[in-house]
């Protein structure tokens, strides 16, 4: 396996890891927040109020984090793209030397 194939495999594995991390956050964070809300509801005596509020706050927080993380990553990739290299190219063409 040459270096290019190893790099492609590494990027693929990193993509799988990032996706699994995002899925875990989407599933677990709202559940943890809802559990905390359930505890507060148990103490206060209001059954679904804090559970619902904390679960929604957990969901909003996770999706906000994912949105801003995705936006930053796409901005970085756009800046590194070949379509932006023209802006850093010289403004005038090199002159030809006639023999």
Ordered DSSP codes for 14-46:
HHHHHHHHHHHHHHHHHHHHHHHHHHHHHHHT-
pTM of the entire predicted model: 0.74
Whether residue 89 is predicted with pLDDT greater than 70 in this model: the reply is no
Give the separation between CA 19 and CA 25, rounded to whole angstroms.
10
pLDDT at 96 over 90: no
The mean per-residue pLDDT over the stretch 18-30 comes to: 96
CB 30 within 8 A of CB 62: yes
Residue pLDDT, tens place only, 39-59: 999 999 998 999 999 999 999
pLDDT at 1: 76
């Amino acid at each position: 396996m040459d270096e290019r194939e190893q790099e492609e495999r590494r990027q693929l594995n990193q993509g799988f890891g990032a996706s699994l991390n995002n899925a875990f956050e989407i599933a677990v964070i709202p559940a943890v927040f809802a559990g905390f809300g359930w505890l507060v509801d148990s103490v206060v005596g209001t059954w679904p109020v804090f559970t619902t509020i904390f679960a929604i706050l957990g969901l909003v927080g996770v999706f906000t984090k994912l949105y801003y993380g995705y936006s930053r990553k796409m901005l970085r990739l756009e800046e590194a793209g070949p379509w932006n290299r023209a802006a850093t190219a010289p403004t005038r063409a090199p002159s030809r030397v006639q023999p």
